[in-house]
Amino acid sequence: MRQKDGPGNLESQRRPRVVVVGAGFGGVNAAQNLSNLDADILMVDRRNYHLFQPLLYQVATAGVAPSDIAYPVRAIFRRQKNFDFLLAQVNGVDLEQRKLLTSRGAVDYDYLILSIGGETNFFGLDSVQENGFDLKDIDDAENIRNHVLLMFEKARHEEDEEICRALRTFVIVGGGPTGVETAGSISELIRLVLVKDFPDLDVGEVRVILLEMTEELLPGFPPDLSEKAVNTLRRKRVEVRLKETVTGYDGESISLKSGDSILANTLIWAAGVRAEKLVDSMEVQKGKQERVVVEETLQVPGHPEVYVIGDAAFMEHDGQPLPMVAPVAIQQAKTAAKNIRNTLEGRPLEKFVYKDPGSLATIGRSAAVARIGRFKFHGFIAWIVWLAVHLFWLIGFRNRLFVLIDWAWDYILYERAVRLITSHPKSEQHDLNLVEREDKR
Amino acid sequence: MRQKDGPGNLESQRRPRVVVVGAGFGGVNAAQNLSNLDADILMVDRRNYHLFQPLLYQVATAGVAPSDIAYPVRAIFRRQKNFDFLLAQVNGVDLEQRKLLTSRGAVDYDYLILSIGGETNFFGLDSVQENGFDLKDIDDAENIRNHVLLMFEKARHEEDEEICRALRTFVIVGGGPTGVETAGSISELIRLVLVKDFPDLDVGEVRVILLEMTEELLPGFPPDLSEKAVNTLRRKRVEVRLKETVTGYDGESISLKSGDSILANTLIWAAGVRAEKLVDSMEVQKGKQERVVVEETLQVPGHPEVYVIGDAAFMEHDGQPLPMVAPVAIQQAKTAAKNIRNTLEGRPLEKFVYKDPGSLATIGRSAAVARIGRFKFHGFIAWIVWLAVHLFWLIGFRNRLFVLIDWAWDYILYERAVRLITSHPKSEQHDLNLVEREDKR
C-alpha cells in the first residue's frame, strides 16, 4: 500500500506540518491542543507508548505492572484526524534546514515542539552509572525490581554473613520525590511483603538507606514538610543520612565524601536529572542541567518555529528554574500549541506564566506530604490526595482500574503481585552472576 | 544471617530431601502433594514464578500482561512449612552421587522429581531458529508482541510496496493448539484492534498464514473438529495451508518443500517440541522427542529415587506417547508424590494411569473446539468452556480478575490493552533495525 503522507514526501503537502518530539506529558498535551488546527501533526518517539512516570517507582517495587502505567500513543490519538505517529529514534535537529534527523530518515517540519524530557545525571560518576541503577523508563524500573528480588533469592542460600549483609543493603541516593518515594516503597516491600516469602528473614538485618547531599529532603517543599518526610521514613525503618555525598561505587562498596563507605549490592541513583542528550547536539544556549534556554513564548531564540517545553526547557520562575515536573510540561504544552495557532492565524504570541499547583510526595502506606497553594498537610489525608491526583492523571480507564485494584491489594492484603524476576538486559547480567560456589561445598 | 538449611549443608540434616526441578504444572503440583510429608522439599527453577503457559499466546498478541499469567513460586508455597526454593539454572544431574548440578552449586537429593518441561524443536532448521520466533516463555511472547506491533509501525511510513507486503505477512508454522490459537489471535488483533490504530490500513493487504505439514489441524482432535477449526480460521481470514513443510527462513523469505516461497518478516514456529535440553546430558534411555523413558511408576529405570514427569517423560497411552499437556503433568505429579510417600512409608508403588480429560483449543472470539469424554462441541459453547477452564486453572485471584477484565475489554470494546513495544533482547535488535533510509529521501 502506498502511504500518502509518510514523513518522506512533504513536497506534495500544502498544510503546515507540526512535528512533536516526545510522547510524555508535554508532547501528548501539545498534540491534543493542536487537534482542531488545519495542520498535520506528526509525533515522533522511540517508544510507542506514553509513560506515566510518577508511578514508575511502583513498577520498580513490584506494586504495579509496566502495562498499567503505559498507554499506546495511537490509542490516545485515535479520534484526532490530523495526527500521525512515527516510531523512531531522534538523532538530531537541523535547525537551518528545518529537518528532524531520525533513525528512519529526515523529517521536514514547519513547526517543531521538542518535548524530549530529561535523563539521569550522574555528574560524571562513571562507576555509579556502570554499577548502579537509575529510574527513568520501564526497563530501568523492571531492572530494579528484578535486582531487588534477586538479592533476597541469593541471600536465602548464602552462608557468608558479610556477603549477606551487602545483599540485604539497599541504598537510594537523592532526597527528591523519586528518592523518597522509592526508599519508602522498597522498605515496605521488604518489611511487609517479602518477609512473608522468606519466613527465616530477619528484617532487622535488612538496611534501606537514603543518602542526601544537602541538609534536607524534598527541596522545594516547606521545611516542616521536609522534616515530616524524614520522620516518616525513619519510622518506616529507612536510615536517612543527610549531608552525605557519594563519590564512587564498584557494585560492592559505596564510597562517601565523608570518608565512610557502605557495603551494598544495590545503589539506586535518584540524585540528578538533566535535559535529554539530544540537546547536546544542538547549537543553542543552555541553562542549568543542560536545559535549552527559551523565550517567554517558549520559542528557541533565533528559531521562532521551534518550541522547547517541559524538562528540556530552561526558564526561571520566582528566580528559580522551573521544576522538572509534569504540571510544567502540561502547561507549557498548552502555551506552545496556542502560540503555533496564533502564528498561523496572525495573532500575537502569548507569554508562558507558570501556575504552581503545589507539590505532592508519598512516603508509603497512609503517608504523604502535600502543599497545595498555601495549604500544607501530611499523613493520611495527603496520601488520599496523592492517590486521587495520580489516578486522575493516569490515561485510560483500564489502567486506572488495574492500578486501583493493585493498590487495594497492597493496602488490604499487604501483597505486591508483580514480584517477578524477568530477564531484562541489565538484570540478565546479574542473573548469570548467580554465584558459582560448587567448590565451597 | 546464617542460613540453617541452605542447599550446601545437607550433612546436618536427618529428614530426607526431595528436590523438585521445575515450577511448571508438574513441579508445583508435585511439591503441593508432598506438603504433609516428613521431608524437606526444595524446588529449583531458573525463574522465580510459575507460568501459565496455555495463555502465553495472549501475551504474544497483546491481550494480557505477562504478570497476569505468572505467579511467584514463593507466594504459592507460603503456607507449606517443608518447602524451600532455590533460584538457579540446572546444568546437570549426577545420578550416581545423587547430586543436582546448578549454577549455584551442587544440591544433594534423596529423591528427585524432574518436571523440566519441554522446549521448541526446530528439527535442525538453524535458519528458522535464528530468524523466527518461538513461544515457550514470557520473553518469547513479549518478543512476538513487540515484533508484530513494530511491523505495523514500520509499514506505516514505508513507501515500497514489496517491503510493505513482507512487513504485513505473518506466518505461523504448526497446526497444533499453539499454532491455531496464535494464528486466530493475531488475525483478530490486526482486523479488529490495530485497524483502529492505523486508519489507513487496508486489512485486505494483511496476510496471516498458518502452515501445517500434515493434512489436518489439531492432531489428536476428532477429524470433524479439525475440519471445523480450518473453517473457522478461514472465516477469520487466516490462510490455512495444509501439507506444507518449511525448509528455511532468512528473515525475509520462507522456503517451502513444495518449491514455493513466502515473503514475510514474521515467522512464528509452533511446529515442534521436545524435552528440555537438560536431558541431553543425562545417560538414560530416551523415547520420541528426547523424552526420558520412565517406568509405569514414573521412576527412571535403574534409579528408583528419580522421577520424571510431564513433557520431559516418555510413556505410552493407547499406543501413543502421552501428549505434552498440563493434565498429564498434573496427574503424574500426583502419582510421583504418592510413590515417594509410599517408599518412605514402606508401601508398594502405584502405576500411573492417564485419565484423559479431553482437549480444548480456541480459535478467537466466540470460537473454540472441545472434546470432553465422548462429547464433542464447537463454537460459542466450546469457547465458554475454554474460558472457564482456563480461568479456573490460573493461580491467584488477582490474576484471574485481571485476565477476566482484559478478556471482557477485548470482547466488548475490541481492545487489547498491552499494545506496547518494549525493549527486549531479541526485539531490541529489530528495533535498531528501524531502517536507515535518509538517502532515499
Q: Could you report the per-residue pLDDT of B348-360, keeping only the tens digit for each?
A: 999 999 999 999 9
* The total number of residues written for chain A in this structure: 441
Report which secondary-structure segment, H or E, holds B238: strand B238-241
Residue B440, pLDDT > 80, answer no
In SS3 terms, chain A reads as CCCCCCCCCHHHCCCCEEEEECCCHHHHHHHHHCCCCCCEEEEEECCCEEECHHHHHHHHCCCCCHHHCEEEHHHHCCCCCCEEEEECCEEEEECCCCEEEECCEEEECCEEEECCCEEECCCCCHHHHHHCECCCCHHHHHHHHHHHHHHHHHHHCCCCHHHHHHHCEEEEECCCHHHHHHHHHHHHHHHHHHHHHCCCCCHHHCEEEEECCCCCCCECECHHHHHHHHHHHHHCCEEEECCCCEEEECCCEEEECCCCEEECCEEEECCCEEECHHHHHCCCCECHHHCEECCCCCEECCEEEEEECHHHEECEECCEECCCCHHHHHHHHHHHHHHHHHHHCCCCCCCCCCCCCCEEEEEECCEEEEEECCEEEECHHHHHHHHHHHHHHCCCHHHHHHHHHHHHHHHHHCCCCCCCCCCCHHHHHHHHCCCCCHHHC
- Best of B74, B403, B414 to disrupt the A interface (most A CBs within 10 Å) is B74
**Cell numbers given for A407:** 493498590
Give the pLDDT of residue B417: 87
Average pLDDT rounded to a whole number, residues B367-381:
93
* C-alpha dist (Å) from residue B42 to B17, B23, B39: 7, 11, 10
Residue B241, pLDDT > 80, answer yes
CA distance A197 to chain B (A): 5
Beta bridge partners of A359: A371
SS3 content of chain B, % helix, strand, coil (to 5): 40, 25, 35
CA-based R_g, chain A, Å: 23
**Alpha-carbon dihedral of residues A329, A70, B406, A405, nearest 10 degrees?**
-70
Residue A441, pLDDT > 50, answer no
Query: E-strand spans in B324-366?
Result: 359-364
Report which secondary-structure segment, H or E, holds B316: strand B316-317
**Residue A357 and residue A393 in contact, taking contact as beta carbons nearer than 8 Å:** no
Residue B435, pLDDT > 50, answer no
pTM: 0.93
Average pLDDT rounded to a whole number, residues A370-379:
92
Beta bridge partners of A107: A100
Query: For residues B270 and B246, what is the distance between their CA atoms, to the nearest angstrom?
Result: 12
Nearest chain A residue (CA) to B146: A48
Average pLDDT rounded to a whole number, residues A27-37:
97
CB pairs under 8 A between A and B: 197
pLDDT top residue among A145 and B439: A145
Q: What is the sign of the dihedral through the CA atoms of B233, B237, B238 and B240? A: positive
Nearest to B72 among A47, A157, A420 (CB): A420
Angle between helices B138-156 and B425-432 (to 10 degrees): 20
The answer to whether B437 contacts A3, with C-beta atoms less than 8 Å apart, is no
CA distance A51 to chain B (A): 11
Query: For residues B416 and B189, what is the distance between their CA atoms, to the nearest angstrom?
Result: 8
**Residue A96 and residue A8 in contact, taking contact as beta carbons nearer than 8 Å:** no
Q: Which residues contact A165 (CB under 8 A, 6 or more apart)?
A: A205, A263
Least confident of B4-8, B81-85, B181-185, B292-296: B4-8
The answer to whether A48 contacts B149, with C-beta atoms less than 8 Å apart, is yes
Which residue, chain included where needed, has cell 498537610?
A377
- In tens, the pLDDT along A177-193 reads 999 999 999 999 999 99
The answer to whether A159 contacts B425, with C-beta atoms less than 8 Å apart, is no
Q: Categorize the per-residue pLDDT at A130 as very low, low, confident or very high, splitting at 50, 70 and 90.
A: very high
| Chain B residues in contact with A197 (beta carbon < 8 A) | 72, 74-75, 78
- Closest residue by Cα to residue B186 from B345, B278, B60: B60
Q: How many alpha carbons lie under 13 Å from residue A356 in its C-beta half-sphere?
A: 19
- In tens, the pLDDT along B164-220 reads 999 999 999 999 999 999 999 999 999 999 999 999 899 999 999 999 999 999 998
pLDDT top residue among A247 and B9: A247
- CA geometry: angle at B195 spanning B193 and B201, to 5°? 160
**Cell numbers given for B328:** 498429564
Q: What is the complex's ipTM, to 2 decimals?
A: 0.91
**Residue A184 and residue A236 in contact, taking contact as beta carbons nearer than 8 Å:** yes
Nearest chain A residue (CA) to B50: A420
**Residue B306 and residue B100 in contact, taking contact as beta carbons nearer than 8 Å:** no
Give the pLDDT of residue A417: 87
CA-based end-to-end distance of chain A: 64
| Chain B residues in contact with A421 (beta carbon < 8 A) | 47-49, 87
User: Phi first, then psi: what are they for B274, rounded to 5°?
Assistant: -150, 170
Q: Any catalytic annotation for residue A215?
A: no
| Chain B residues in contact with A394 (beta carbon < 8 A) | none
**Residue B427 and residue B150 in contact, taking contact as beta carbons nearer than 8 Å:** yes
**Residue B279 and residue B291 in contact, taking contact as beta carbons nearer than 8 Å:** yes
Residue B412, pLDDT > 80, answer yes
Give the pLDDT of residue A424: 53
Give the pLDDT of residue A292: 98
Strand A238-241 relative to strand A266-269, pairing: unpaired
Residue A430, pLDDT > 70, answer no
Q: Categorize the per-residue pLDDT at B424 as very low, low, confident or very high, splitting at 50, 70 and 90.
A: low
Mean of pLDDT over chain B: 92
The answer to whether B67 contacts A70, with C-beta atoms less than 8 Å apart, is no
pLDDT over 70 percentage in chain B: 93
CA distance B205 to chain A (A): 8
**Residue A422 and residue A146 in contact, taking contact as beta carbons nearer than 8 Å:** yes
Angle between helices A177-188 and A223-235 (to 10 degrees): 20
The answer to whether A200 contacts B66, with C-beta atoms less than 8 Å apart, is no
Least confident of A137-146, A351-360, B344-353, B414-423: B414-423
Average pLDDT rounded to a whole number, residues A131-135:
97
* C-alpha dist (Å) from residue B164 to B132, B426, B430: 18, 22, 16
Check B119, B181, B276, B290 and give the catalytic one: B181
> Which of helix, strand or coil describes residue B329?
helix
Question: A387: buried, middle or exposed (CB in 10 Å: 19+, 13-18, 0-12)?
Answer: middle
Report which secondary-structure segment, H or E, holds B429: helix B425-432
Query: For residues B182 and B179, what is the distance between their CA atoms, to the nearest angstrom?
Result: 5
Q: Categorize the per-residue pLDDT at B281 as very low, low, confident or very high, splitting at 50, 70 and 90.
A: very high
Q: Which residues contact A429 (CB under 8 A, 6 or more apart)?
A: none
Query: For residues B222 and B218, what is the distance between their CA atoms, to the nearest angstrom?
Result: 9
pLDDT top residue among B50 and A6: B50
- Best of A58, A67, A90, A102 to disrupt the B interface (most B CBs within 10 Å) is A67
Least confident of A106-115, A321-330, B64-73, B368-377: B368-377
CA distance A372 to chain B (A): 34
- In tens, the pLDDT along B247-261 reads 999 999 999 999 999
| Chain B residues in contact with A435 (beta carbon < 8 A) | 104-105
CA distance B440 to chain A (A): 8
**Cell numbers given for A227:** 522534616
Query: For residues B142 and B135, what is the distance between their CA atoms, to the nearest angstrom?
Result: 9
Check A119, A142, A181, A212 and give the catalytic one: A181
Question: What's CA B134's distance to the chain center, in Å?
Answer: 9
| Chain B residues in contact with A7 (beta carbon < 8 A) | 157
- In tens, the pLDDT along A68-82 reads 999 999 999 999 999
Beta bridge partners of A112: A19, A306
Residue A8, pLDDT > 50, answer no
CA-based end-to-end distance of chain B: 64
